[in-house]
């Protein structure tokens, strides 16, 4: 199986960093962290969202990283997508952990790319069909329904 890219999504809970809403400082810190992790930032954009939440997008030569902070919840959500075959997104997350100082982390690791044959790439769909009732159980139901409706509208 050939892996073209690796994607790591990370949820960081109860972050100890006091400046989660300072998007300019966060931008500079993340640029330094990406360089320390061995990645090459091409462009970095940062913006304050809803007057508190910082959003930082880092375009890397090897892929991209997105970090969004929620200071009122002490929560940081990040996504690191690395396209270079021998690079590891874990390096970027390690640098991000040092910066955010979370109490708890949840990571999801995805391998992206060419998975071989067409059969392997096709989505697997499961369809469940409920068995039909035997015809005996619905026999004469039409007549009963008509009688009940007629009684209610008093025909």
**pLDDT 10s digits, 71-101:** 999 999 999 998 877 777 788 888 888 888 8
- pLDDT at residue 152 in the model: 72
101: left (phi over 0), alpha (psi -120 to 50) or beta: left
- pLDDT at residue 129 in the model: 47
Residue 139 lies in a domain: no
Residue 79 lies in a domain: yes
The three-state secondary structure class of 86 is coil
List the chain residues with pLDDT less than 70. 1-3, 114-143, 145, 154-155
- pLDDT at residue 132 in the model: 45
Residue 40 lies in a domain: yes
- pLDDT at residue 42 in the model: 93
Residue 144 lies in a domain: no
Residue 21 lies in a domain: yes
Residue 146 lies in a domain: no
Domain count, the chain: 1
Q: pTM to 2 decimals?
A: 0.67
- pLDDT at residue 130 in the model: 46
Residue 84 domain boundaries: 5-121
Distances from the Cα of 97 to the Cα of 13, 40, 90, angstroms: 11, 19, 10
- pLDDT at residue 11 in the model: 92
- pLDDT at residue 55 in the model: 92
Rounded-to-10 torsion of CA 21, 27, 29, 32: 170
Residue 149 lies in a domain: no
Residue 23 lies in a domain: yes
Report the CATH number at residue 69: 3.60.90.10
Give the residue among 65, 96, 67 at the shortest CA–CA distance from 82.
Answer: 65
């Amino acid at each position: 199986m050939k892996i073209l890219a690796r994607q790591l999504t990370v949820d960081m809970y109860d972050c100890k960093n006091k400046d989660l809403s300072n998007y300019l400082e966060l931008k500079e810190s993340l640029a330094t962290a990406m360089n320390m992790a061995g990645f090459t930032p091409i462009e970095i954009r940062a913006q304050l969202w809803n007057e508190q939440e910082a959003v930082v997008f880092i375009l890397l030569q090897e892929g991209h990283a997105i970090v969004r902070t929620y200071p009122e919840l002490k929560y940081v959500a990040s996504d690191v997508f690395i396209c270079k075959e021998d690079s590891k997104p874990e390096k970027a997350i390690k640098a991000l952990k040092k910066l955010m100082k979370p109490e708890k982390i949840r990571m999801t690791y995805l391998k992206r790319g060419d998975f071989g044959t067409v059969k392997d790439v096709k989505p697997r769909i499961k369809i469940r069909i409920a068995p039909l009732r035997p015809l005996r159980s619905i026999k004469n139901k039409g007549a009963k329904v008509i009688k009940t409706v007629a009684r209610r509208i008093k025909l």
